[in-house]
Amino acid sequence: MKHVKWGLKLALLATLGLGQALTAPKANAALFQQDEINQEDVIAIASPIGNSSHQLLILQQLNNQRNCWSESGTTVEPLLLNFDFTGICNRATDSNGYSVRVNNEDLGVHYTLRLAPENNALKLLVSSTRNTSMPPIEIGQATNLPGEFVKITLNPGWRITRRSYSGQQLGHYYLTNDQPLNALQPNSPPSRNPVPSPSPRPVQPSPTPTPFPITPGPTPTPLPTTPFPNPAPTITPAPSPVTPAPLPTVPLPSTPSPSPSTRSAFNYRVTVPAATTTTQNQIRAIVPDAFRTILNGQTVMQVGLFQDYDAALALKETLALENFPATIHDVLTSPTPVLPSARQVIVIDPGHGGRDPGAVGRDNIYEKDIVFDISKQVASLLEAQGMTVVMTRTQDVTVDLEPRVQTAEYYDANVFVSIHANAISLSRPEVNGSETYYYASSEGYALANSIQQRLIQDVGMNDRGVRQARFYVIRRTSMPAALVEVGFVTGEIDAPLLQMSSVRTDMAEAIATGILDYVRGY
């Protein structure tokens, strides 16, 4: 395997973000709507995780050019990896692609979907993440066939719909029921007019089985970490150029271009004067997510944003113990920090996080951990090359899709790159490689192709190509955007590599180099 190294290898940040936690609120029914779709053109599938468990997978047939799946009795065979399924099939493999909608309300991240075995059956259940004492609600059932893709039959009243925004249909699916939530609880009286689940669209069986990505969820094996050497750029007061340190993620309003008085949901900003590189690095040793900015013409480190004054005061007192004179500013009345000018703004989006582990692969490795490590290193490498970098999450927190998009719009980013890891059934270890997606623009393709080529040339990954897709985060962003799948956590070749810190660093270098190649027009 070929490995191309940069002169300086940067490892990952050990800890991130005092006072910086972006939480994803429940999606507002007024923000997202639901669009009805032909139930014969969509199917819910129990996808196998090895020979022991299953995960929900949703497929939709968009046209009749090629069949997206075949059925034989209760078993299903996904077919769409046999061909370029762009415009032919849609897929949803995890909580980024589907959620539950009840009585015209998107339950979002506050309820999770899972498949639970019970005797010879699999039950599709939705459970509250906030009230664990609440019994789960059954949505559908399937035959429990270990290691097999199995059709899920939805219970009466449940159907699959598509999320829409401002009249535009999105790639996110809802498991939908029109009854109020309390009426769906176990032992509640049934609806007088349940909505029947229609028969599936008949398709022809295929003699050639084809693997398909899924995203399961057991217990992870922690990734090894190494200390992070902070870069030491030369700092001069504005307007001279400076190399920015990591920018934290802040909660964002529902509009892309808010006024200064409504830009942040936080009330207090904590800063420390820091005119020298030595001081800046000392502050980062205490608050790793601190970043350099200009406030009232003075070079400072912003060390935290808080809703609560007491939390801001606690940080100030912690810094005072280390002889750093921190100041607490009222966000609404104090001047807004000035970000460095004349620099490319790159938004790096580590997929999943918090309650959403993403794909789970061999040795119980979590996608969210793999991509978070790689993303932090990509950010550090880009910053060392003079880019301004914003990460959509700087901790292991749950972030919905819209806040990720709003982060890029809020900072008027030049480039948006979402980093993920792929997966299929553990019984399909032969599927390995990297693939990178764009939505529709030639610039998006150029960015995706630049990243993909670096992963192939510099890391030696199997080339699964540059593909077009309608993923929410690359479809809704206004700047050139790409979504990269670095490899398969279920692959017999990729999974061991993804568990190696040196290979994750190689991948980070390849992605960063691909972004720089695109930005600099190489």
Whole-angstrom Cα distance, residue 360 to residue 147?
16
Q: Do 495 and 361 touch, CB atoms closer than 8 A?
A: yes
Cβ 60 vs Cβ 79: under 8 Å: no
Using CB atoms within 10 A of its CB, is residue 457 exposed (0-12), middle (13-18) or buried (19+)?
middle
Composition of the chain by helix, strand, coil, percent to 5: 20, 30, 50
What is 405-418 written as a DSSP string? Answer: HHHHHHTT-SEEEE
Would you name the residues annotated as active-site residues? 485
159 touches 39 (CB < 8 A): yes
Please, are residues 375 and 391 in contact by the beta-carbon 8 Å criterion? yes
List CB contacts of 38: < 8 A, sequence separation 6 or more. 201
CB neighbourhood size of 361 (10 A)? 30
CA angle 51/52/57 to nearest 5° reads 85
Neighbours of 342 (CB within 10 A): 8
Q: Which residues of 30-46 are buried (b: 16+ CB within 10 A; e: fewer)?
A: eebbbeebebebbbbbb
What is the spatial distance between Cα 61 and Cα 352, in angstroms, rounded to a whole number?
26
Q: Are 270 and 304 spatial neighbours (Cβ–Cβ below 8 Å)?
A: yes
With CA atoms as reference, report the closest residue to 152 among 58, 291, 243.
Answer: 58
